[in-house]
Amino acid sequence: MKTIIEPFRIKMVEPIKLTTRGQRAQLIEAAYYNPFLLRAEDVIIDLLTDSGTSAMSSEAWGAMMRGDESYAGARSWYRFRDTVKDIFGFEQVIPTHQGRAAEHILFGVMVNPDSIIPNNTHFDTTRANIEFFGGKAIDLPCAEADDLDSEYLFKGNMDIEALEKLVADEGPERIPLIMVTVTNNSGGGQPVSMANIREISRVARGAGIPFYFDACRFAENAQFIRRREPGYGDASAAEIAAEMFSHADGCTMSAKKDGFANIGGFLCTNDAELARRERNILILTEGFPTYGGLAGRDLEAIAVGLREVLDEHYLDYRLLSTRYVVEHLRELGIPVVSPAGGHAVYLDARRFLPHIESLQYPGQSLAVELYIEAGIRSAEIGTVMFGADPHTGEEHPARLDLVRLAIPRRVYTQSHMDYVLEGINLVWERRSDIRGMRIVRAPQYLRHFTAEFDWV
């Protein structure tokens, strides 16, 4: 069969409230032109994030009913810990309430004001947490990552030569860890190849620097390797994931992505002494080491989700349904990052709105227009998110100005995606009339979440 179906049946539904264009124009103005500040019920198709927005399975809901809510040593903790150890292979597992809490603990222990932390591309929360502790977050994406049309299959790769040069120039003592984000969220949801992972590991181990994964979308990355990298076609996603992690010393993880969970995360390491220091902070900020900011039922849901996400039929459907949207956009001539990534579709706002300069935030304008046109909520990943120095307040154009349409797992069907395609095309047809934006008010850190905007 050529038709790709959602490999699940739907047995619970949530109605979508439909709004008119006029209502949406008022609603987004009242939200200071920041889609994060809208009420979710005023959104028709919510593609703000794939994080924590998954539909859980009947198995996961069933497991939640079995949650052991004991303060210490709960059954649910052991189920969670054993699942994480089995899939990720690291010896020490530290539960946290979400990914950024794992990052905060990790960098709190490892980063000082002299530190430099390279990554293929830091996500906003890893960058902000490193900067919070005075360190410098450096992006080393491969050259193909900047060419949004390049069909290179692993555009999430790190630039190995640049990594070697950084280690040689700065010295390993300034680099407390090397990270790689799978898939590369801020770089377009693009995968990292096993060959690249092996090379990063070689550089890290050669210099005695710990190597960490930001593992949020590890299963999608594993399936990309399976489908695209020679030699992996017969391996399961679980086997590929195990090989990926075998090259590293630890990971941070947000279970809100490839854990199918609505909340949760964890931090892993093979270093028992480091884990002891991390648990000291965990107790201060998250909770006792056998629950770390999560309820027993959350630990159960994650334990089920981490296994479900490795199902090959689900992963094929996931990657192909994202590709469906990208290919249709390309047929319409709409600038989009290709090849398709795993969890999201990224519109190239600079080419969509070439008359708007980066410091007038073309990505923000496009996200606002998509909401007004069709009630689609998306997120700017560009100069609003990355273009300000939190210490000096100085602004510069980000490397890319993208709009991310992140697809929640198992939530929307193909007809929802057809509606999204129609909405984007309507904005495309009137693109020359769209104006840039200016920031009226913004906080020091992670400004995109709460900044207030107006039209230029």
Give the residues lining the site for ligand PLP (CB under 6 A).
51, 98-100, 123, 125-126, 181, 185, 214, 216, 254, 256, 265
Pairing label, strands 136-139, 178-181 = unpaired
User: Which SS3 state, helix, strand or coil, does residue 171 take?
Assistant: coil
Q: In a 10 Å sphere around its CB, with 0-12 CB exposed, 13-18 middle and 19+ buried, how is residue 38 labelled?
A: buried
- How many Å apart are CA 167 and CA 174, to the nearest integer? 9
Query: Of 196 and 360, which has the nearer Cβ to ligand PLP?
Result: 196
Tokens of 381: 């990943």
Min separation Cβ 190 and ligand PLP, Å: 12
Q: Residue 118 half-sphere exposure, CB side, CA atoms within 13 Å?
A: 28
Min separation Cβ 233 and ligand PLP, Å: 27
- How many Å apart are CA 307 and CA 304, to the nearest integer? 6
Query: Of 51 and 321, which has the nearer Cβ to ligand PLP?
Result: 51
User: Order of strands, edge to edge, in the sheet holding 92-96?
Assistant: 92-96, 265-269, 250-254, 211-214, 178-181
Query: Of 27 and 303, which has the nearer Cβ to ligand PLP?
Result: 303
Min separation Cβ 231 and ligand PLP, Å: 26
Min separation Cβ 99 and ligand PLP, Å: 3
Query: Of 408 and 423, which has the nearer Cβ to ligand PLP?
Result: 408
Min separation Cβ 252 and ligand PLP, Å: 7
Query: Of 27 and 282, which has the nearer Cβ to ligand PLP?
Result: 282
User: Order of strands, edge to edge, in the sheet holding 379-381?
Assistant: 344-348, 402-406, 379-381
User: Which SS3 state, helix, strand or coil, does residue 269 take?
Assistant: strand
The closest residue (CB) to ligand PLP is 99
Min separation Cβ 436 and ligand PLP, Å: 26
The residues, any chain, with a CB within 8 Å of residue 401's CB and separated by 6 or more, are: 348, 349, 350, 358, 361, 362, 363, 380, 382, 383
Other CB atoms within a 10 A radius of the CB of residue 234 amount to 7
Query: Of 121 and 365, which has the nearer Cβ to ligand PLP?
Result: 121
Min separation Cβ 130 and ligand PLP, Å: 12
Other CB atoms within a 10 A radius of the CB of residue 5 amount to 11
Query: Of 97 and 247, which has the nearer Cβ to ligand PLP?
Result: 97
Q: What are the CA-CA distances from residue 94 to residues 103, 251, 256, 282, 295 (Å)? A: 11, 10, 16, 8, 14
Query: Of 121 and 201, which has the nearer Cβ to ligand PLP?
Result: 121
Tokens of 366: 């496009």
Min separation Cβ 379 and ligand PLP, Å: 10
Min separation Cβ 297 and ligand PLP, Å: 18
Query: Of 126 and 360, which has the nearer Cβ to ligand PLP?
Result: 126
User: How many degrees, rounded to 5, is the angle at CA 55 between CA 47 and CA 319?
Assistant: 60
